[in-house]
Amino acid sequence: MSFPPFDEGDDHSGDYPGGSARAPSPLEWVSSLLPLNLDARQARVKLRPVFQGALTAIVEPIELRFGEVRASFSALSSRSAAGEVALVVRSLGLVRPLKSPRDESRLMEKLLGPVLDARAHPEIRFRPLSVIHLPAPRPSLRAARREAVGSGILRVLGELTIRGMLKRLTLDFNELQPKLWTASGVIQIQEFGILPPRHFLGAIQVAGALPFDVEVDLRGGGAEPAAGTWDLSET
């Protein structure tokens, strides 16, 4: 969402929602969209496993994404939030295929089986508890009045559930482009009862710290191909 800049002496009453001459904060703007329902086109979640060990050089870098996401929000404020994000585990897929289809199949079987246990825990869930706006530093009043809705950070405090285990998680969203919000973080997989996978007697091992990226795209029309749904019959 773009708002007109301010010029000294101009009357911009009515330029912004509610007839105000003040640009809404990011939290006010997002709240004006409620109730908000998103799918994998608007809420994109990617995982970037890190490999360790003596044979790391032979491992292809991998990036994973969820092809099925359901997110709904009915209230977002600093005092409380109402909503939930569900990531369907069996929709997890590679952003770029591996060179070897056999290696890719083995990788996905391991991820959906002993690692994430998709049969017993078909979804990863995140429930927001509160959302606050942290304004960006403002060098001058005039510059501040020219800033768009995306200034500052939206900090989302919530609860993440993986494999039935719940942990607190904080996400700091920055507005990369108008209506495109991004956040990054790291999950310690051992906290969710996941042992880092090992291969070749530990010569290749997945690090316990799992980086992830989240994009919330409210621009409309933009979509990313969905990851494939994997057959769990043999997992």
The C-alpha angle with vertex 150 and arms to 218 and 30, in degrees rounded to 5, equals 50
Burial 64-95 (b: 16+ CB within 10 A, else e): bbbbbbbbebeebeeeebebbbbbbbbbbbbe
Average pLDDT over residues 55-73: 89
Structure tokens at 61: 């870098």
The answer to whether residue 84 sits within a structural domain is: yes
The answer to whether residue 86 sits within a structural domain is: yes
Checking if the pLDDT of 214 tops 70, the result is yes
Give the Cα separation of 131 and 221 in Å (integer). Answer: 26
Could you list the residue range(s) of the whole structural domain that residue 206 is in?
24-217
The answer to whether residue 231 sits within a structural domain is: no
Structure tokens at 91: 């929709």
The C-alpha angle with vertex 118 and arms to 61 and 157, in degrees rounded to 5, equals 75
The predicted pLDDT at position 57 comes to 77
The predicted pLDDT at position 204 comes to 78
The answer to whether residue 117 sits within a structural domain is: yes
Please state the three-class secondary structure of 12-31 as a single string. CCCCCHHHCCCCCCHHHHHH
The predicted pLDDT at position 171 comes to 96
CATH of the domain at 183: 2.40.128.110
Q: Please state, as a whole number, how many other Cβ atoms lie within 10 Å of the Cβ of residue 145.
A: 16
Give the Cα separation of 201 and 53 in Å (integer). Answer: 10
Among 25-34, 94-103, 226-235, the range scoring the smallest mean pLDDT is 226-235
Average pLDDT over residues 209-217: 96
Sign of the Cα torsion 114, 117, 118, 119 reads positive
Number of domains within the chain: 1
- List, for residues 159-200, the tens digit of each pLDDT value: 999 999 999 999 999 988 888 999 999 999 999 999 888 776
- List, for residues 86-123, the tens digit of each pLDDT value: 999 999 999 999 899 998 998 899 999 999 999 999 99
CB 168 within 8 A of CB 188: no
Find which of 84-93, 135-144, 148-157, 216-225 is predicted with most confidence, using mean pLDDT: 84-93
Structure tokens at 186: 């790291």
The predicted pLDDT at position 2 comes to 36
The answer to whether residue 102 sits within a structural domain is: yes
At 235, the pLDDT band (50, 70, 90 cuts) reads very low
Computed over every residue of the chain, the mean pLDDT equals: 81
Structure tokens at 155: 């900090």
Could you give the dihedral angle defined by the CA atoms of residues 15, 16, 21 and 23, in that order, rounded to the nearest 10 degrees? Answer: -130
- List, for residues 42-52, the tens digit of each pLDDT value: 999 999 998 87
The answer to whether residue 154 sits within a structural domain is: yes
Q: Specify the higher pLDDT residue, 222 or 179.
A: 179
Checking if the pLDDT of 128 tops 90, the result is yes
The predicted pLDDT at position 47 comes to 96
The predicted pLDDT at position 13 comes to 39
Q: Specify the higher pLDDT residue, 81 or 56.
A: 81
Listed in sequence order, the residues at least 6 apart from 213 whose beta carbon sits closer than 8 Å to its beta carbon are 44, 45, 46, 48, 182, 183, 184
